[in-house]
């Protein structure tokens, strides 16, 4: 059965599951080149079908999700979505009615689905799908949190686990706790949208004049630069109540409550208090669920599950045996979640292997070579590319690394990465200010061999995190070796690569181990900040030209700075 998953909201995208196997998954932003694209994912759908070598007529089922009132209206009036996108991304000024519109928007998202909103969604989606030749496929609509949960459940590998969604809003809910067993997923508790932990943090992000739905990670990073508060007035604003969250006011009114507190605090202190409040509530909900069910394996998804400090605290709960975080935890991962929900139907449950997440487009060596020639760049084909790159990194160079199929999800995992030595804080600063143009307090992350992670991390527990989804504490004696990729609190967010993994990525880490004694690199996403991850070789060459990096490894070809073109 060929199932095409489609997500047509924030960070829209598509995913293709063929006979229970994930064949392709890609977000529209990588093709439209608009970060966190909100338009219908027409190009992502075409790319998925292309990767699966399918025609639109071969698709049996199109799986989509979220039919609440706000989503139905956005489908009916796409221009409203575009207007919000432009304000949110600071491409348009908010206008005189901004505060009112914001309140109305959040109020609307608190409404769950009803028969009319479902019918509108089905009609709008059906019409769009017919327009791109997918009218022959059956359209299945799923619940927002069910899709978040299904992605985490199917990819976790757990037989029996708690599946927890921690989110903003979708289909009238903001968080759920479900039990996964041999029969599938069974929901135990759900938090209404009005009591959303994600909206709480979204408002904090917005009040710090950062972009909500995008810069929450910056708020978390900034929080590291403030001391723990003696008294935290944000704690009562978001709390755990059993298996649910409770906020002091509905999401649409919480912004004003937060603003009344914010004025008295410096930004980093406010960020710290918000992070602490969110941490305490989220960890308490999960701890309670583990306690009540006696199930110590936890799979997480939803936008709040991108908070690596919360994920670490959950991992370290004594009653938790193991944690898996769905690597594309935010709404951008819903296309795959929906596809898996449809593929699992009738089977009870489904297990999938996401591999190294290289689920996007890739280019053959001849195709890369012709792109290089078309761009007029001088290049060479080193006999040992891995050794060549490692040797350059050791010399302090910054190397752009383009290898195989593009990653699915928010992290660069060795297909579209910017690389440097992990033990040079001055390289980190050069990357932040010159290459990536990021804020100074946003840390970089390492990719390292599993054997190294066991040696370097003090709080090793559970399965190794392959997808950069949670923080680990670096042992004091290892901090010098990872000084360029360490947070101010002594933790880092690693990609832990199996020592015996095939391919050039693990080989590069082994070569770094041989040359420097530490099998690790600084690995940051191959883009300029604010732009989507590069997908095609042309974009890689463009970023190389604009970034000031020393070299570009494009498949088997090496391009050096100053090398023509
Ligand atoms: Fe969501």
How do residues 419-442 score in pLDDT, each as one tens digit? 999 999 888 888 887 777 788 888
Q: Report pLDDT digits (tens) over 143-181.
A: 999 999 999 999 999 999 999 999 999 999 999 999 999
CB 371 within 8 A of CB 525: no
What's the chain's Rg over C-alpha atoms? 23
Q: Are residues 197 and 251 in the same domain?
A: yes
Q: Are residues 384 and 260 in the same domain?
A: no
Which contiguous run of DSSP H or E holds residue 499? none
Residue 340 lies in a domain: no
Position 538 confidence tier, pLDDT thresholds 50, 70, 90? very high
Average pLDDT in the 41-55 region? 98
Residue 466 lies in a domain: yes
The structure tokens listed for 251 are 């999401």
Q: What is the arithmetic mean of pLDDT over 44-51? A: 98
48 CA to middle of ligand 1, Å? Answer: 22
Q: What is the percent of the chain where pLDDT is above 70?
A: 99
Cα gap 375→367, rounded to integer Å:
12
Confidence of residue 548 (pLDDT cuts 50, 70, 90): confident
Same domain, 133 and 166: no
Rounded distance from Cα 273 to ligand 1 centre (Å) = 24
**Residue 247 lies inside a defined structural domain of this protein:** yes
Cα–ligand 1 centroid distance for 321 (angstroms): 26
Tell me, in angstroms, the distance from the centre of ligand 1 to residue 81's CA. 16
Q: What is the pLDDT of residues 52-78, one digit of tens each?
A: 999 999 999 999 999 999 999 999 998
Q: Which residues are bridge partners to 177 per DSSP?
A: 164, 189
Distance of CA 397 to the CA centre of its chain: 28
Ligand 1 centre from 110 Cα, in Å?
A: 13
Q: What is the dihedral of CA 481, 486, 492, 493, to 10 degrees?
A: -100
Do 114 and 255 sit in the same domain of this protein?
A: no
Taking the centre of ligand 1 as the mean of its atom positions, its distance from the CA of residue 331, in whole angstroms, is: 5
Ligand 1 mean position to 262 CA, how many Å? 26
Residue 356 within a domain = no
Report which of 187, 186, 183 is spatially closest to residue 349, judged by C-alpha positions. 183
Q: How far apart are CA 519 and CA 422, in angstroms?
A: 10
Residue 109 belongs to what domain range?
A: 2-146
Please indicate, yes or no, whether residues 397 and 528 belong to a single structural domain of this protein: yes
Q: What CATH code is carried by the domain that includes residue 522?
A: 3.90.870.20
Q: Residue 168 C-alpha to ligand 1 middle, in angstroms?
A: 6
How many domains does the structure of the chain reveal?
A: 3
Query: What is the rounded distance in angstroms from the CA atom of residue 458 to the CA atom of residue 454?
Result: 8
* Domain-ending residue, one of 328, 357, 374: 328
* CA of 9 relative to ligand 1 center, distance in Å: 10
Pair 187, 253 in one domain: yes
- 354 within a domain of the structure (yes/no): no
Cα(167) to ligand 1 centroid in Å equals 5
Q: What percent of the chain has pLDDT over 90?
A: 86
In a domain, 339, yes or no: no
Tell me the pLDDT tens digit for each residue of 89-113: 788 888 777 788 888 889 999 999 9
Residues in the chain, total:
565
CATH number of the domain that residue 224 is part of? 3.30.420.40
The CA 423 to ligand 1 mean position distance, Å, reads: 36
- The larger pLDDT score, comparing residue 80 to residue 482, is at 482
Ligand 1 center from residue 18 Cα (angstroms): 24
Q: Cβ distance 66 to 74 under 8 Å? A: no
β-bridge partners, 358: 407
Pick from 128, 146, 164: which residue ends a domain? 146
* Per-chain mean pLDDT for the chain: 95
Is residue 200, in this structure, part of any structural domain at all? yes
Residues 111 and 251 in one domain: no
Taking the centre of ligand 1 as the mean of its atom positions, its distance from the CA of residue 229, in whole angstroms, is: 30
Please return the burial class of 170, using the count of CB atoms within 10 Å of its CB with bins 0-12, 13-18 and 19+.
Answer: buried
Residue with tokens 């990357």: 431
> Does 446 have pLDDT greater than 70?
yes
Distance (Å) from CA 307 to ligand 1 centroid: 14
Instruction: Using a CB cutoff of 5 Å, list residues around ligand 1, an ion.
Output: 167, 170, 331
Distance 11 CA to ligand 1 centre (A): 11
Helix, strand, coil distribution of the chain in percent, nearest 5:
40, 20, 40
249 and 397 both lie in a single domain: no
Say which residue the tokens 């059993």 belong to.
Answer: 242
Report if residue 333 sits inside a domain.
no
Average pLDDT over residues 16-33: 97
Are residue 384 and residue 316 in the same domain, yes or no?
Answer: no
Quick one: pLDDT at residue 564?
47
> What is the greatest pairwise CA distance in the chain?
65
Residues 220 and 83 both lie in one domain: no
CB 203 within 8 A of CB 254: yes
| 469 CA distance to ligand 1 middle (Å) | 17
Q: How far is the CA of 404 from the centre of ligand 1 (A)?
A: 29
- Domain shared by 179 and 67, yes or no: no
pLDDT-derived band at 329 (thresholds 50, 70, 90) equals very high
Residue 198 Cα to ligand 1 midpoint, Å, equals: 9
The CA 525 to ligand 1 mean position distance, Å, reads 23
Averaged pLDDT, 127-155: 97
Residue range 308-318: mean pLDDT, rounded: 97
Say what the pLDDT of residue 565 is.
41
Chosen domain end from 97, 126, 146: 146
Q: Is 206 helix (H, G, I), strand (E, B) or coil?
A: helix
C-alpha 330 – ligand 1 centre gap (Å): 6
CA of 259 to the centre of ligand 1 (A): 25
pLDDT over 50 at 192, yes or no:
yes
Q: What is the whole-number distance in angstroms between the Cα of residue 172 and the centre of ligand 1?
A: 11
Q: How many angstroms is it from 56 CA to the middle of ligand 1?
A: 27
Give CA torsion, residues 19, 338, 117, 81, to 10 deg.
-130
| DSSP conformational letter for 319 | T
Bridge partners, residue 68, by sequence: 113
CATH code of 57's domain = 3.30.420
Q: What is the pLDDT of residues 247-303, one digit of tens each?
A: 999 999 999 999 999 999 999 999 999 999 999 999 999 999 999 999 999 999 999
Residue 145 C-alpha to ligand 1 middle, in angstroms?
A: 7
- Do 435 and 300 belong to one domain? no
Task: Give the Cα separation of 27 and 281 in Å (integer).
Answer: 31
449 CB-near residues (< 8 Å, 6+ apart): 496, 497, 498, 499, 506, 509, 510, 513, 519, 520
What angle is formed at CA 288 by the lines to CA 286 and CA 294, rounded to 5 degrees? 95
* Residue 86 pLDDT exceeds 90: no
What's the pLDDT at 348?
65
CA of 165 from ligand 1 middle (Å) equals: 8
CA angle 476, 482, 485 (to 5 degrees): 120
Q: Are 208 and 267 in contact (CB under 8 A)?
A: yes
Reported as a pLDDT band with limits 50, 70 and 90, residue 563 is: low
């Amino acid at each position: 059965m060929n199932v095409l998953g489609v997500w047509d909201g924030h960070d829209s995208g598509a995913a293709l599951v063929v006979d229970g196997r994930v064949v392709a998954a890609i977000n529209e932003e990588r093709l439209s080149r608009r970060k966190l694209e909100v338009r219908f994912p027409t190009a992502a759908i075409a790319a998925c079908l292309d990767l699966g070598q399918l025609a639109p007529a071969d698709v049996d089922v199109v799986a989509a999700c979220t039919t609440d009132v706000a989503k139905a209206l956005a489908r009916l009036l796409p221009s409203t979505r575009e207007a919000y996108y432009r304000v949110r991304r600071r491409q348009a000024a908010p206008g005189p009615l901004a505060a009112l519109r914001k309140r109305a928007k959040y109020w609307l998202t608190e409404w769950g689905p009803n028969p009319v909103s479902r019918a509108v969604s089905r009609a709008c989606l059906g019409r769009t799908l017919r327009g791109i030749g997918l009218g022959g496929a059956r359209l299945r609509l799923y619940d927002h949190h069910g899709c978040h949960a299904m992605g985490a459940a199917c990819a976790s590998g757990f037989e029996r686990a708690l599946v927890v969604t921690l989110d903003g809003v979708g289909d009238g809910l903001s968080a759920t706790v479900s039990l996964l067993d041999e029969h599938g997923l069974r929901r135990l508790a759900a938090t209404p949208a009005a009591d959303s932990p994600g909206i709480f943090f979204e408002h904090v992000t917005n009040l710090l004049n950062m972009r909500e739905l995008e810069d929450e990670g910056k708020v978390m990073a900034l929080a590291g630069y403030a001391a723990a508060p003696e008294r935290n007035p944000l704690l009562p604003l978001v709390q755990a109540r059993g298996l649910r969250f409770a906020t002091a006011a509905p999401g649409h009114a919480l912004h004003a409550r937060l603003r009344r507190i914010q004025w008295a605090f410096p930004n980093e202190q406010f960020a710290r208090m918000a992070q602490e409040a969110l941490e305490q509530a989220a960890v308490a909900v999960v701890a309670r669920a583990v306690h009540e069910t006696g199930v110590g394996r936890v799979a997480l998804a939803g936008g709040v599950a991108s908070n690596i400090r919360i994920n670490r605290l959950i991992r370290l709960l004594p009653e938790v045996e193991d944690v898996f975080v769905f690597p594309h935890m935010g709404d951008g991962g819903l296309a795959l979640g929906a596809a898996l929900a449809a593929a699992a139907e009738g089977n009870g449950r489904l297990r999938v292997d996401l591999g190294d997440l290289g689920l996007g487009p890739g280019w053959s060596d001849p195709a890369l070579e012709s792109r290089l020639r078309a761009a007029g760049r001088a290049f060479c084909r080193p006999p040992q590319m891995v050794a060549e790159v490692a040797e350059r990194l050791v010399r302090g160079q910054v190397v752009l690394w383009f290898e195989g199929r593009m990653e699915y999800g928010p992290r660069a995992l060795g297909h579209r990465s910017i690389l440097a030595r992990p033990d040079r804080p001055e390289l980190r600063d050069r990357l932040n200010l010159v290459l990536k143009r990021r804020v100074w307090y946003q840390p970089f992350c390492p990719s390292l061999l599993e054997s190294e992670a066991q040696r370097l991390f003090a709080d090793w527990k559970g399965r190794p995190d392959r997808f950069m989804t949670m923080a680990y504490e670096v042992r004091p004696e290892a901090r010098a070796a990872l000084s360029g990729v360490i947070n101010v609190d002594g933790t880092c967010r690693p990609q832990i690569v199996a020592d015996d993994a095939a391919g050039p990525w693990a080989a590069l880490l082994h070569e770094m181990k041989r040359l420097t004694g530490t099998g690790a690199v600084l690995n940051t996403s191959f883009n300029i900040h604010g732009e989507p991850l590069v997908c095609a070789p042309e974009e890689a060459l463009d970023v190389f030209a604009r970034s000031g990096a020393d070299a570009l490894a494009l498949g088997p070809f090496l391009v050096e700075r100053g090398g023509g073109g």
